[in-house]
């Protein structure tokens, strides 16, 4: 199983890769998580959409990030350490160079919170459609031991490679025990260019 990060950016996305990632999560091939900042962002949704989005987000394990005033929900965060503060500052500076937290958009702070929280808990990647964030993936990876910011297509390709490796290992050593039902080629997106 591959540990990936699921955030509000793809929670209800209907592109093929996002749908397939959620399907792989549901069949226990990958683990998708959310951060506490997700439901803070969802609070801004239209009332008719809020209920559906929060029900969907509740189906994913939540990682509590360090408290950030005006952005964290008090019952869904932890008191941060100096390391947390440093990490949050480094992520924010890498994603939004030159931005001032006091005057930037709320989503800038929350995007940094998502990534910093995922890094805090050893996540492998932050999955988003936002190209501006993905363009900072190399800088974030250099600062945080290979942590990436991926598009859903990138995350699906990585998951597909990992699953292919497990399938080969299982073929060579079937005595390793049972695994979840093999995803179909359609589940892996192999018909649309994924590896």
What is the phi/psi pair of residue 73, to 5°? -90, 130
Task: State residue 195's pLDDT score.
Answer: 35
Domain definitions of the chain by residue range: 2-192
**Token output for 34:** 């959310």
Compute the mean pLDDT over every residue in the chain, rounded to the nearest whole number: 87
Which whole-number Å values give the CA distances from 43 to 36, 47, 72, 106, in the listed order? 12, 9, 12, 13
Q: What is the pLDDT of residues 143-190, one digit of tens each?
A: 999 999 999 999 999 998 988 888 888 889 988 887 777 777 666 665
Task: Give every strand in the sheet of 2-5, ordered side by side.
Answer: 61-63, 30-35, 2-5, 125-127, 148-150
pTM, 2 dp: 0.85
Q: What is the pLDDT of residues 40-52, one digit of tens each?
A: 888 888 888 888 8
- Residue 87: name the closest of 36, 132, 147 by CA: 147
Which whole-number Å values give the CA distances from 172 to 167, 168, 175, 192, in the listed order? 9, 6, 9, 27
| Domain 2-192: top CATH class | alpha beta
**Token output for 72:** 């964290």
Q: Is 103 exposed, middle or buried (0-12, 13-18, 19+ CB in 10 A)?
A: exposed
Q: What is the pLDDT of residues 112-134, one digit of tens each?
A: 999 999 999 999 999 999 999 99
For residue 65, count other CB atoms closer than 10 A to its CB. Answer: 28
Q: Positive or negative, the Cα torsion across 83, 86, 91, 92? A: positive
Q: What is the pLDDT of residues 27-83, one digit of tens each?
A: 888 889 999 998 888 888 888 888 888 888 888 999 999 989 888 888 898 999 999
**194 pLDDT more than 70:** no
């Amino acid at each position: 199983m591959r540990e990936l990060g699921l955030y509000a950016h793809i929670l209800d996305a209907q592109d093929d890769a996002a749908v397939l990632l959620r399907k792989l999560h549901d069949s226990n091939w990958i683990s998708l998580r959310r951060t506490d900042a997700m439901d803070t962002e969802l609070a801004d949704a239209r009332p008719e959409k809020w209920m559906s989005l929060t029900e969907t987000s509740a189906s994913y394990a939540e990682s509590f990030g360090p408290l950030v005033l005006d952005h964290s929900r008090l019952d869904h965060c932890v008191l941060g350490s100096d390391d947390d503060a440093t990490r949050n500052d480094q992520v924010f500076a890498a994603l939004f160079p030159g931005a001032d937290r006091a005057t930037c958009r709320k989503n800038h702070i929350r995007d940094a919170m998502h990534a910093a929280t995922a890094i805090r808990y050893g996540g492998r990647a932050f999955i988003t459609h936002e190209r501006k964030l993905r363009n900072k993936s190399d800088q974030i990876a250099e600062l945080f031991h290979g942590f990436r910011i991926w598009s859903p297509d990138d995350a699906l390709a990585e998951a597909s490679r990992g699953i292919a490796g497990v399938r080969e290992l299982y073929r060579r050593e079937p005595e390793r025990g049972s695994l979840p039902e093999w995803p179909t080629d359609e589940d892996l997106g192999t018909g649309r260019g994924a590896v």
